[in-house]
Amino acid sequence: MYQKDQICDKIRSVYPDVGRCGIDIRVDFDKKNKAWAVLLKKDNRELKTYLEPEDADACMENRQCIGLGWQIYQLRDNITG
């Protein structure tokens, strides 16, 4: 399994504006849900999503980033809109 910093770096590589321009990101593994919890925060708005480990692994291994990419896109769009 990857470390949370690696997942954050991958998200930033796919979406460079996340983690900058006032959008903060936090990633932690949620043992209860057995998934990566991704929290985006901008000003006083916070949104959270869960990434299945299989989706995160596929993206980290440069096989497929559709699952991770789509969820982060939706979060980013909702928090900046």
Domain boundaries, the chain: 4-80
For 8-54, what is each residue's pLDDT tens digit? 888 888 877 777 666 788 999 999 999 999 888 888 888 888 989 99
- Whether the per-residue pLDDT at 57 is higher than 70: the answer is yes
What's residue 22's pLDDT?
Answer: 64
pTM comes to 0.78
* Segment 3-7 mean pLDDT: 91
Amino acid 43: pLDDT: 83
Burial 41-53 (b: 16+ CB within 10 A, else e): ebeeeeeebebee
Task: For the domain made up of 4-80, give the CATH fold.
Answer: Double Stranded RNA Binding Domain (3.30.160)
pLDDT computed for residue 20 by the predictor: 64
Which sign, positive or negative, has the C-alpha torsion 67, 70, 76, 81?
negative
The confidence score (pLDDT) of residue 74 equals 79
